[in-house]
Structure 1
Amino acid sequence: MDAEKLDKLINLVGELVTAGAGTSLLADNLGDSALNESVSVLNSLLEAVRDAALELRMVAIGATFSRFQRVVRDIAHELDKEIELVINGAETELDKSVIEKIGDPLTHLVRNAIDHGIESPAIRVAAGKPEKGTITLNAYHDSGNIVIEVSDDGKGLDPEIIRAKAIEKQLLDENAVLSRDELLNLIFEPGFSTASQVSNLSGRGVGMDVVKRNISELRGRVEILSQIGQGSTMRIILPLTLAIIDGFIIGVADEQFVVPLDAVQECLELKKLPDNPVDAPYFNLRGQVLPLIYLRHCLGIEGRYPARQNVVVVQSGGTSAGLVVDCLLGEFQTVIKPLGKLFSEVGCISGSTILGNGSVALILDIHGLIDTMMGEEQLLLQ
């Protein structure tokens, strides 16, 4: 199917979703039960049309993975290394527009794994490893996201070597205190390279920063898992689609925001108990400590406090947190509108949408919010 025709269909479905939300709002205000029932049927059909239209844009990632067979073979031959490529999850589907934009970042990660990750046959044998190295491409769905992993069984990333190189290239102060994960993430800094000499494949310090930027533009993120001597895994986490998602609307003062429904676990009332005082940083959730994010403070929103507040329990990347909000406004099919460059540095906002009443609501980036919260906590502890 022609890509332009498909994009036009998705855009029209998006406008239908917005118009349907407006009709639902009017029907609720009128209070006519027959009209509400009719609108409910219409919205269920609209949701089915939306899902069917989005399925047309879904493409298996196997074709993208398969083209790396030749890349691995050619570069391994050039570097006198023996490497096998293993592909898992080739049937996993994701949005066609994401497939088109993920090719270059994946290529760089695979080349990096061959050049920096996998050791030469002699070194591998001396370390008690098989002479032939293995690079694995894996894809799977997780909580409304698609996860793509590029793994190798090479030497892994050494945080101390990364630290020394970052200090040498003046990317890091020698007195700076960083966690292991923060040191590993230095490889995404512009100009960073651990290569001892410049070659056709590496040493220029250009690449990993571009990989991170390209993935961020897709509203995704990169995580690094590495063990010295055992190998590394670059994990890319991307939204399943860039067009329409199911959202949950929350209100803070006079502002409304959308949380991706896949990230929402449950909603609770924030009770002012002795073990949960006003503006407490944590909440006692059935015996578990739940960090709280006060959106009013985090986003600088002014306005009267309500008689009671609510906690929306969200999860991202295995970390849970509670968003403290004024009111809960229910589910909503969200047509994602991209933000301009003015918002490119705002880590806790991933996009915007138009609500049924015509007003604009910002879509929250849950992972960005949790990262921001963790960063502020670390600053307070220092």
Structure 2
Amino acid sequence: MSNDLEAAKQGFLSEAGDLLSAMEDALLHLENSPDDMEAINAVFRAAHTIKGTSGVFGFDDVVSFTHVAESLLDKIRDSEITINKEIIEVLLRSGDHMSALVNEVIANDNEVCTALLETSGALILQLNVFMQLTPTEIIINESTENRIETLEGDEQIASNNNWHISLRFGVDVLKQGMDPISFVKYLQQIGRIISLSVLPNKIPSLDNIDPEACYLGFEISFQSECNKEEIEAVFEFVQEDCDIRIVPPHSAINRYIELIQALPEEDELLGELLIKSQVLTRNELQNALSDQQNKSKTGADKSIGEILVDQGVVAQEVVGAAVEKQQQVRTKKNVESRIVRVNSNKLDELINMVGELVIASASASLLANKGNNPELEEASGLVDDLVDSIRNNALSLRMVPIGETFHRFQRVVRDVSGQLRKEISLVITGAETELDKMVVEKIGDPLMHLVRNSLDHGLETPEQRIVAGKDAQGKIHLNAYHDSGSIVIEISDDGKGLNKVLLLEKAIAKGIVDAEQVLSDDDINNLIFHPGFSTVESVSNISGRGVGMDVVKRNILALRGSIDLESTEGEGTVVRIRLPLTLAIIDGFQVGIRDDSYVVPLDMVIECVEYADFNKANDNDKSESNYFNLRGEVLPLVKLKDHFNYSLVENEQNARANIVVVHYAGRKAGLVVDQLMGEFQTVIKPLGKLFSKIRGIGGSTILGSGEVALILDVQQLIQDASEQELKHVS
């Protein structure tokens, strides 16, 4: 297989994924708004495009299945079938099956396994059942075999709901052994003649009539499910000697316009667009091109669209839609010509190289400062600014909205709530919030677990909610927003909340806490993150609140994030996840303890204050040395020397020690350090397993001097300080 063909197939795979995702969103929307024609058209366009592109690649199994789904959608668009939840359910499963088929034929070189073919057959049967429920076609009472109307001239009979066929048989048709009436009769095998009119105006007087010549002309109103090309094929043997015009039903104009809009984004000639949308046949196009050429010789230049309209072959609205489609495609092509698709691995390599550039820049800046050369320092500062811009631009390439991850849960909520016989709606806000692509990829599974927990054990049944004085329909809310250089993701529900008494009893029974131990509400709520802890009596196949929550927390911590939970019994639960915007490079604030360097994430730093005054105030009361008063606000104090067990040094001078005031998730604390060493760009390097148990350390970085500095885990330090303060108070 050529590389170009393989690349094209991979492009189709990506396009099909996007189309099926849009199809799923539209179907879920239709559950609440079944009359939304735009959503119905969106579903049809997705199926139509997948079918058409699959045909180009010869994926017959995909085409045959998608054709049935497309036929049902076509009848829904024409209001022959009313969409309902049962149809939506089957169409959702059909969309999943289309995805499986497309992946299968691309992965296995157009081969489909037996299991998928069996699924295709089962779904096709269900789709056909819905189409058999179509209302019976209206039968016109008048007999069509004997209904003949005589009209003067070339007057046309047009019906809004029927095809109109205008026939002018050639004079020599009879001499060639063709019977015009046989063609008319054959039409009845592919449809139904509603009315037929004979045009007598070309019949000469009896004196001049040629008994072997044909003077017949017909105007036919025809009802059929066939397309224009199939109707034209009826007259294939007499096309060269006849004048044939086939005009679609007026009611089909909107359908043709939609088909044009749904065509793949390809820059094509107007005639090709009209042929692909089935409003024009290739013979009609050739005739129009010949007419255009003849008119240009006489100086009457006209566009092909104008000629088609003049001939009555294509409606003006359809030509206008095709011209608009051309303009849209060309505009999009111009935009896409400025867009380059880049493999994500190359982006990762770029970020790594930018990280090394940041370290090298810091080293050059350090050497420039030591050299006391103003010109060199100025040049180094300029390089630092450029590196900072490169860093920001490189990181922005990997920033993606979290909305795609959020919208994936609409289907989950719908399917699981149906299994549990609960009425649940999903509300999404903050979908435009951006964060690092790697973080988005890794947060999907923890979010899935939390959403399933809310569905299964957080929200009550409609009967239970009504008894509790709530709406029968429960609600899950997904929200994302930026806060202090982090992204916060909230998963909340308005369900029954956590039973704190039951949680505490279970924790005591399992030996997790002592019976005499006093816990805050937050501590009790967070017990569910303890490995193996659960209050669920029987584990369902959906989830178990508490079962696997330790894994969720571990995955969040691996992303340098945090997770906490708030719950009010009878009102609901909020799980709040905080994550860094990026896992690669951050702005840091360097501090020193003796000869060692540490880095505090700059977005968590509020201010720095002298420690000397606080130290003197507490000299006489060592019991009060675990906190300090900052302008009336009492904050816990973390002495990093004590926290990291630095050995005591006699006559050590702490006069110039400082307090770095930090905050995280609404809580503040003070970090006591020996030196303040300024801001710098920090390339985050992971720590090995040997250091994974050290509390308060979140990573490492390389300084410009080549030394290694540890990055402080501010969240853990604040939590430890708060716990120490609670013990001190109790």
TM-score of the two chains, using structure 1 as the length reference:
0.96
199-208 or 233-242, which deviates more: 199-208
Q: How does 1:147-186 map to 2 (within 5 A)?
A: 147-186=488-527
Displacement of 1:316 in angstroms is 1.1
Any idea what the Cα deviations from partners look like across 1:6-36, whole Å, max 9, x if unmatched? 1000000000000000000000000100110
Q: Which amino acid aligns with 1:275?
A: A
Q: Distance in 2 between matches of 1:104 and 1:133?
A: 23
Q: Distance in 2 between matches of 1:263 and 1:191?
A: 33
2:449 is paired with a residue whose SS is: helix
Asked if 1:287 corresponds to 2:632, the answer is: yes
Q: Which amino acid aligns with 1:321?
A: A
Q: Distance in 1 between matches of 2:512 and 2:606?
A: 39
Q: Distance in 2 between matches of 1:21 and 1:92?
A: 31
Instruction: Give unmatched runs, 5+ long, in structure 1.
Output: none
Asked if 1:361 corresponds to 2:709, the answer is: yes
Displacement of 1:275 in angstroms is 2.9
1:67 is paired with a residue whose SS is: helix
How many positions carry a matched residue from both structures?
A: 382
2:600 is paired with a residue whose SS is: strand
Distance change >3 Å, CA 204–CA 147, structure 1 → 2: closer
Asked if 1:67 corresponds to 2:408, the answer is: yes
Displacement of 1:177 in angstroms is 2.6
Q: More helix per residue: 1 or 2?
A: 2
Greater C-alpha radius of gyration: 2
Alignment-derived partner of residue 333 in structure 1? 681
Asked if the contact 1:308–1:326 (Cα under 8 Å) also holds between the matched residues in 2, the reply is yes
Any idea what the Cα deviations from partners look like across 1:284-342, whole Å, max 9, x if unmatched? 32232232211111111245334321111111111111111111100010000011112
Alignment-derived partner of residue 305 in structure 1? 653
Asked if 1:261 corresponds to 2:618, the answer is: no
2:368 is paired with a residue whose SS is: helix
Structure with higher RCO (Cα < 8 A, 6+ apart): 1
Asked if 1:115 corresponds to 2:459, the answer is: no
Q: Distance in 2 between matches of 1:95 and 1:145?
A: 11
Alignment-derived partner of residue 562 in structure 2? 221
Any idea what the Cα deviations from partners look like across 1:214-258, whole Å, max 9, x if unmatched? 001001111111111111100000111000000000011111100
365-374 or 22-31, which deviates more: 365-374
Displacement of 1:381 in angstroms is 4.1
Asked if the contact 2:591–2:599 (Cα under 8 Å) also holds between the matched residues in 1, the reply is yes
Asked if the contact 1:195–1:202 (Cα under 8 Å) also holds between the matched residues in 2, the reply is no
Asked if the contact 1:276–1:284 (Cα under 8 Å) also holds between the matched residues in 2, the reply is no
Q: Distance in 1 between matches of 2:345 and 2:495?
A: 43
Q: Which amino acid aligns with 1:124?
A: R
Alignment-derived partner of residue 275 in structure 1? 617
Asked if the contact 1:314–1:321 (Cα under 8 Å) also holds between the matched residues in 2, the reply is yes
Q: More strand per residue: 1 or 2?
A: 1
Displacement of 1:203 in angstroms is 4.5
Distance change >3 Å, CA 338–CA 105, structure 1 → 2: same
Q: Distance in 2 between matches of 1:175 and 1:9?
A: 55
Alignment-derived partner of residue 375 in structure 1? 723
16-25 or 300-309, which deviates more: 300-309
Asked if the contact 1:275–1:284 (Cα under 8 Å) also holds between the matched residues in 2, the reply is no
Q: How does 1:11-22 map to 2 (within 5 A)?
A: 11-22=352-363
Asked if the contact 2:435–2:581 (Cα under 8 Å) also holds between the matched residues in 1, the reply is yes
Distance change >3 Å, CA 374–CA 228, structure 1 → 2: same
Q: Which amino acid aligns with 2:675?
A: C
Asked if the contact 2:529–2:546 (Cα under 8 Å) also holds between the matched residues in 1, the reply is no
TM-score of the two chains, using structure 2 as the length reference:
0.51
Identity rate, percent: 58
Asked if the contact 1:189–1:208 (Cα under 8 Å) also holds between the matched residues in 2, the reply is yes
Q: Which amino acid aligns with 1:96?
A: K
Asked if the contact 1:19–1:356 (Cα under 8 Å) also holds between the matched residues in 2, the reply is yes
Q: Distance in 1 between matches of 2:495 and 2:644?
A: 43
Q: Distance in 1 between matches of 2:509 and 2:658?
A: 49
Q: Which amino acid aligns with 2:636?
A: P
Alignment-derived partner of residue 700 in structure 2? 352
The one of 16, 21, 25 aligned to 2:366 = 25
Asked if the contact 2:612–2:655 (Cα under 8 Å) also holds between the matched residues in 1, the reply is no
The one of 104, 107, 122 aligned to 2:445 = 104
Asked if the contact 2:453–2:545 (Cα under 8 Å) also holds between the matched residues in 1, the reply is no
Q: Which amino acid aligns with 1:366?
A: V
Asked if the contact 2:452–2:543 (Cα under 8 Å) also holds between the matched residues in 1, the reply is no
Asked if the contact 1:187–1:208 (Cα under 8 Å) also holds between the matched residues in 2, the reply is yes
Q: Which amino acid aligns with 2:687?
A: L
Asked if the contact 2:449–2:543 (Cα under 8 Å) also holds between the matched residues in 1, the reply is no
Asked if 1:58 corresponds to 2:399, the answer is: yes
Instruction: Give unmatched runs, 5+ long, in structure 2.
Output: 1-341
2:457 is paired with a residue whose SS is: helix
Any idea what the Cα deviations from partners look like across 1:46-65, whole Å, max 9, x if unmatched? 00000000000101000000
Alignment-derived partner of residue 242 in structure 1? 583
280-289 or 114-123, which deviates more: 280-289
Alignment-derived partner of residue 221 in structure 2? none
Displacement of 1:182 in angstroms is 1.0
Displacement of 1:204 in angstroms is 9.1
Displacement of 1:343 in angstroms is 2.1
Displacement of 1:2 in angstroms is 0.8
Q: Which amino acid aligns with 2:491?
A: V
Q: Distance in 2 between matches of 1:47 and 1:226?
A: 42
